[in-house]
Amino acid sequence: MLADKGTAAPRRSLWGNLLVFLAVVGPGIITANVDNDAGGITTYSLAGAQYGNKLLWTLIPITVALVVVQEMSARMGVMTGKGLADLIRENFGVKVTFWVMVALLVADIGNTIAEFSGAAASLSIFGVPAWVSVPLTAAAVWILVLKGTYRQVEKVFLVACLFYIAYPISTFFAKPEWSTVVKATLTPSFETSGGYVAMLIGVVGTTIAPWMQFYLQSAVVEKGIKPEQYAHSRLDVVAGCIITDVVAFFIIVACAATIFKAGIKVETADQAALALGPLAGRYASWLFAFGLFNASFFAATILPLATAYYVCEAFGWESGIDKKWGEAKQFYWLYTGIVALGAAVVLTPHLPLLKIMLVSQIVNGVLLPFILIFMLLLVNDPKLMGAHRNGPWFNGVAWATTAIMIVLTGYLVVAGLRDLFAA
């Protein structure tokens, strides 16, 4: 509501809108970039390398689901001014909160392990062995966050995320058949082979993860976004979701146009880097290693920190990197523990790393439906949300999304458990 009069008004308000948008922007786009972490890049690369363009069609429904879920998180954050862990504790009590937090902790430790193995894989391309790269990365993550220069570094990470542009460029150089790509994106196709279904669920699961809802809502709260700025915040969230999936789209197409076409079976990070060959030639593996390392490191700083925050928020322990160690013991021990455990697991020889990741994926899968249902109950609570509850139409889409996610993750959990015991 600008009170400007005269001819300058429209330009002013456009400018004003842009300023507000820039002030509010951030949480959605940062969440999106953390979402494309080591697990994300790996999953999308494998999807393109093994199945070509066949999984592209899933990206449109995934984007819709992602927008629906993330929008609710952001709206709850803006309207209640509270984090999701906070709301769950206050509305569903200690027992529910305890189990949700235990599951979140296990799932996030699993995700952190994935980040550290991503860091190890990327640095191994430069010839650095894991026993050097992993402890160094863990120490760097730990010091970076606790010594409080994190806010500035976040910007560096975001700039480094421009690496993702390498995929679209490489895709154009690879000259895929665009008509096929567009057709594959717009027409759903389905295969009943177990591998295809598992990959489909993998893509969905890596894109919509439980931690994101906690992270986004807290980030929105911390940014202090007011209800009247919500329209801009929503734009940020939608932009973030679209960025996530556009990046996923180009990774899949690039891998389909190179690795899948050449019929290579991807087993190492070096082979996944072939997708960047049309752009970077023999430097492709370096570029890939750089991007993968940035993504792993970025997520490895955010995930353990965010997890420590939610757990402390839920149980009422003091938290925050501005507190001293003695004031926020639980917070620092949790943070340190997650980082140390994540790194230690990657380094332990003979530990079934793949099985551990499978367990973490299963826990993620079990947790997600609960989180989605809690979110829907909270977002429809008139005491909390007042007039900003879901409308009937939106609620329909949200419940349908939740139902589909429950079916998919249910399948993932069953298949995962079967694999776990079969192996």
Partner 1 sequence: MPHSDSFRFLFFSDLLGKRVFRADGSPLGRVADLIAVSGEPFPPVESVIVRSGKRRLQLPWNAVAQVNGGVRLHPGAEPVPAPAGPVADRVRLGDEVLDRQIVDIEGAKLVRVNDLHFLESKASLRVAHVDIGFRGLVRRMGWQRLVDRLVSTVRPGSRYLKDESLLPWKLVQPIESAPGRVRIEATKKALATLHPADLAEIMEELDRDHRQVLLERLDVETAADALEEASPEVAAELLQQVEPDKAADILEEMAPDESADVLSEIPGETREELLEAMEPPEAREVQALLAYPPDSAGGLMTPDRIQLYPEQTAADALAEVRRRAEEVPLVYEVFVVDNAGGLRGFATLKDVVLADPGTPISRIARDAPVTVAVTDRLRDVAIAATKYNLISVPVVDSRGVLQGIVTVDDILAEVVDAR
Binding partner 1 (rule: CB under 8 A), the pick from 55, 59, 125, 221 is 221
CB 118 within 8 A of CB 296: yes
Tokens of 177: 């058949």
Give the distance from CA 54 to its chain's centroid: 23
| Binding status of residue 318 toward partner 1 by CB under 8 A | yes
Decide whether 282 or 383 has the Cβ nearer to partner 1.
Answer: 383
Decide whether 150 or 196 has the Cβ nearer to partner 1.
Answer: 150
Binding partner 1 (rule: CB under 8 A), the pick from 316, 351, 400, 404 is 316
Span near partner 1 by CB under 8 A; candidates 208-216, 219-227, 351-359, 367-375: 219-227
* Packing angle of the helix pair 353-379, 210-222 (nearest 10 deg): 50
DSSP 351: -
Build a one-symbol-per-residue string for 83-122: x at contacts with partner 1 by CB under 8 A, - elsewhere.
---x--xx--xxx--x------------------------
Beta-carbon contacts of 216 under 8 Å, excluding residues fewer than 6 positions away, are 27, 28, 31, 70, 73, 74, 77, 237
Span near partner 1 by CB under 8 A; candidates 74-82, 176-184, 236-244, 284-292: 74-82
Binding partner 1 (rule: CB under 8 A), the pick from 21, 60, 64, 81 is 81
Span near partner 1 by CB under 8 A; candidates 312-320, 343-351, 354-362, 373-381: 312-320
Decide whether 11 or 226 has the Cβ nearer to partner 1.
Answer: 226
What gap in Å lies between CA 362 and CA 414, rounded to an integer? 9
Least distance from partner 1 to the Cβ atom of residue 401, Å: 27
What gap in Å lies between CA 200 and CA 55, rounded to an integer? 7
Output the CA angle 91-95-96, nearest 5 degrees. Answer: 55
- Residues numbered 143 to 172 that lie near partner 1 (CB under 8 A) are none
| Nearest residue to 281 via CA among 140, 166, 182 | 166
What gap in Å lies between CA 148 and CA 140, rounded to an integer? 12
Residues that bind partner 1 (CB under 8 A): 3, 80-82, 86, 89-90, 93-95, 98, 221, 224, 226, 315-316, 318
